[in-house]
Amino acid sequence: MPNLLSSLSDFCGRLLARPDALMLELGAGGELVVARLRALLSMVLLLLPLANLLIGGKYSETMIGLVGVVLAIVVSQVWLALARHQGRYRWLPYATATYDVTLTTLVLAALATDSPATGLNSMVVWVFYLVAIAMTAVRNDGRLTLYAGMLALLQYTLLILVTFQLVENPDQLASIEYGTVTMATQVQRLVLIAMMTALTTTIVYRMQRLVEMSGTDGLTGLPNRTWLMHRFPSLMDAARERGSSLSVCVIDLDYFRRINDELGHLSGDRALRHVTDVLQQQLEDKDWLARLGGEEFALLLPLPIGRAWERLESMRRSVASQPFQPDGGTDLMRLTFSAGIAVWPDDGADLSALLRRADIRLRQAKQEGRNRVLARDP
């Protein structure tokens, strides 16, 4: 029982927490996918009122459907234009989810005004509640899925209650085409909305875990190279908008193989975590530390190269001044690192070029005796 409660607590905590940078980056791409799908579906929906007219459906139903589809097409193009600016409008996923759910409710309400049985028993329109909830999955934000599901439940519940309240004659709840409306069937539909919300939420949770594992270093808990490759373009765009520089630092621990060879890999792992903790204590807002692999790290600082050198030099002294305690009660071990710095846009236009330039300066620092930071070519 305690394990179950702990799992549920972790599940809810992850869903309600703000996604990390990589998830938000992928979610912005997902919003664009949804916007394109919404625009395509809106065009396809034109076939529904036309088909209804051809098979002898009511003229009023056809006109309500046609007006709803035309509105959907126009608004979908607006959402598509906004979604092309990926990540710029943080409110956009919630606005579009609200639109998807509310448009479904408005069409059902319009149908119910003409015929209560049609509005509450129309499966073709009602199913777009489920579509709206399912589409939140590609935004990688559990909060959005829960929001869309709760909004659909609330709006459809209100539609049911208002419709039943306004019906003057029970015969209005019966239709040859749509059958008889009963409270039992409406409750079943609410349960289906809740089930779809739960299923989509579980899918989002699973996706978040997979992305987290793919973008996080298992040993140190730091972002890894995959995360860095996905995240760097947005960091570069932010620096461009601010008109500022972005320094990329490559850090490599000195003589790290000695620890693995003399003390074993477990002590080596503890040494890496020790250095990670010391470096993280020095981080400021908008600084990013990632593990590239082995004993190599990348540090991104939104600073010009001179100030970045000062910051990294201070970190170097902090690491050197806080010895590492190996296992087995052996003597404290002093750890040091060498580092090279490259700055965008002077040293490169993309992450690969900047890492290469910083690595060249790192190798030079090693050749000059280690335990130093270089920001210029020799």
Q: In this predicted structure, what is the pLDDT of residue 68?
A: 73
Regarding whether 119 and 268 lie in a shared domain, the answer is: no
Residue 283 main-chain phi, psi, to 5 deg: -70, 145
Q: Do residues 324 and 261 both lie within one domain?
A: yes
Question: For the whole model, what pTM was predicted?
Answer: 0.61
Asked if residue 190 and residue 326 are part of one domain, the reply reads no
User: Does residue 36 sit within a domain?
Assistant: yes
Q: Are 105 and 122 in contact (CB under 8 A)?
A: no
DSSP secondary structure string for all residues of 262-279: HH-HHHHHHHHHHHHHHH
In tens, the pLDDT along 102-159 reads 989 998 998 888 888 888 888 888 999 999 999 888 877 888 899 999 999 999 999 9
- Mean pLDDT for the stretch of residues 254-261: 84
Report DSSP state, residue 298: E
What total of structural domains would you count in the chain? 2
Contact 296, 250 (CB under 8 A): yes
C-alpha 22/C-alpha 287 separation (Å) is 15
Same domain, 210 and 254: no
- Which domain-ending residue is among 215, 244, 259? 215
Range of the domain at 325: 225-374
The tokens of 151 are what? Answer: 């909004």
198 and 270 assigned to the same domain: no
Please tell me the predicted confidence (pLDDT) of residue 12. Answer: 59
pLDDT(373) > 80: yes
Amino acid 153: pLDDT: 96
Spacing of C-alpha 283 from chain mean position: 23
The verdict on residue 278 lying in a domain is yes
Counting residues of the chain whose pLDDT is more than 90, the rounded percentage is: 37
207 with 240, same domain: the answer is no
Structural domain includes residue 34: yes
CATH number for the domain spanning 313: value is 3.30.70.270
Residue 340 included in any domain: yes
Query: Do 153 and 252 share a domain, yes or no?
Result: no
Distance CA 298, CA 301 (A): 10
Give the CA dihedral 366, 368, 373, 375, nearest 10 degrees: -110
Q: Which of 184, 215, 246 is the last residue of a domain?
A: 215
SS3 letters across 58-74: CHHHHHHHHHHHHHHHH
Side-chain-side CA neighbours of residue 50 (13 Å): 7
Q: What is the CA radius of gyration of the chain?
A: 29
**Do the domain assignments include residue 211?**
yes
In a domain, 220, yes or no: no
Based on the fold, state whether residues 108 and 50 are members of the same structural domain: yes
At 235 the pLDDT is 83
Q: Give yes or no for residue 267 having a pLDDT over 70.
A: yes
Q: Are residues 13 and 119 in the same domain?
A: yes
Show Cβ contacts of residue 291 under 8 Å, excluding neighbours closer than 6 positions. 217, 219, 220, 222, 223, 224, 225, 272, 276, 297, 298
Residues 9 and 76 occupy one common structural domain: yes
Most distant pair of Cα atoms in the chain: their distance: 92
- Whether 289 and 168 share a structural domain: no
Is the pLDDT at 15 greater than 60? The verdict is no
Pick the last residue of a domain from 190, 215, 240: 215
Task: Express each pLDDT in 312-345 by its tens digit.
Answer: 999 999 999 998 887 766 678 889 999 999 999 8
Structure tokens at 221: 């808990």
More confident residue, 176 or 202: 202
- Per-residue pLDDT, averaged over 279-286, amounts to 90
Q: What digits encode the pLDDT tens for the residues 26-53?
A: 555 677 888 888 888 888 777 777 777 6
Handedness of CA 203, 206, 207, 208 (dihedral sign): positive
